[in-house]
Amino acid sequence: MARFDGMVVWITGGGSGIGRACAVEFARQGAKVAVSGRRVEKLTDAVADVTAVGGEALAVACDVTDEQGCRDAVAEILQTWGRLDIAIANAGYAVAGYATKIDVGDFRRQYETNVFGLLNTAYAAIPSLIEAKGRLVLVGSVASYLAPPKMAAYSSTKAAVRAIGESFALDLAPSGVSVTVLCPGYVESEIQQVNNDGEFRAEAPNPKHPLMVPADKAAREILTAIHRRKLITPITGHGHVLVWMKRHMPWLMRALIKRF
């Protein structure tokens, strides 16, 4: 018996990167998967990937900054499959730039997607998750611990995600809903091709970081964390190491960030 047999999973940002890889892995492990995002063609590709491994998938176009759109997405999932067991608030992007080069408007746009979009997703899903005693999964980042140069907007939103997750976990525990906050390190994605306005640019370069982990490998680690109902967990081996160093040797971590 697969770990997620018969469960229904909703993944925002499900058309590419971690979200798409998780959709395929959930299908391999017995779940039905609904993928959401703004780019319909990417959702169609994700559904094809799920179908290719013998799974059942649904594309539900949705912009997480639209509160009613998130509720409509859940309504479509319930109409199709009658339940929702796992919701993964994965949609997000990164505003990059030195503090002297970005402004409050950049922070506001970043928070609108990465924090308020995540909350729109969570609140749309929570009633169904309570009914199923399911799992709410929030995607943070190792950057929430490290806060590297040029990443103040992004890192601060992901730190907010960790705080929201810890508090929600306590609030939702009596209802039987678990909360998992994932903090990935460098994972293959299209995030570097999304500009500071949140617009995808296919022609933009997408360089590979030396530590970058394939999305399918990260997805397997993510599903294990969700299955075990872990609260907060770094994802990828280097992610675990970097978080440990930040906690136990912050002086060294800061020196390395400055150096590299």
* 112-to-7, 69, 84, 142, 234 alpha-carbon distances in Å: 30, 14, 25, 20, 24
pLDDT at 151 over 70: yes
> What residue has token string 């890192």?
155
Mean pLDDT over 138-153 rounds to 94
Full-prediction pTM beyond 0.95? no
CA distance 14 to 87: 11
Q: What is the pLDDT of residues 95-110, one digit of tens each?
A: 999 999 999 999 999 9
pLDDT at 206 over 80: no
* 122-to-23, 44, 64 alpha-carbon distances in Å: 18, 24, 10
Give strand pairing partners of 234.
183
> What residue has token string 């997607």?
113
pLDDT at 211 over 90: no
pLDDT at 207 over 90: no
CA distance 216 to 239: 16
Mean pLDDT over 205-213 rounds to 73
**pLDDT recorded at residue 256:** 85
**pLDDT recorded at residue 110:** 96
pLDDT at 2 over 90: no
**pLDDT recorded at residue 90:** 97
Is residue 96 within 8 Å of 154, Cβ to Cβ?
Answer: yes
Cα three-residue angle 42-47-50, rounded to 5 degrees: 130
Mean pLDDT over 85-94 rounds to 96
Length of the chain: 260
**pLDDT recorded at residue 195:** 65
User: Strand 178-184's sheet: what is its strand order?
Assistant: 56-61, 32-37, 8-12, 86-89, 135-139, 178-184, 232-235
**pLDDT recorded at residue 200:** 67
Catalytic residue among 93, 145, 154, 186, which? Answer: 154
- Mean pLDDT (the chain) is 93
pLDDT at 70 over 70: yes
Q: What is the pLDDT of residues 19-55, one digit of tens each?
A: 999 999 999 999 999 999 999 999 999 999 999 999 9
Mean pLDDT over 72-95 rounds to 97
Quick one: 216 exposed, middle or buried, by C-beta within 10 A (0-12, 13-18, 19+)? middle
Domains of the chain: 8-259 (3.40.50.720)
State the virtual CA torsion across 229, 230, 233, 236 in degrees, nearest 10.
Answer: -50
Q: What is the pLDDT of residues 231-260, one digit of tens each?
A: 999 999 999 999 999 999 999 888 888 887
The question of whether 98 is a catalytic residue gets the answer: no
- Give the list of residues 6+ apart from residue 82 with CB closer than 8 angstroms, or none: none
Is residue 34 within 8 Å of 9, Cβ to Cβ?
Answer: yes
State the virtual CA torsion across 151, 102, 200, 213 in degrees, nearest 10.
Answer: -10
pLDDT at 203 over 90: no
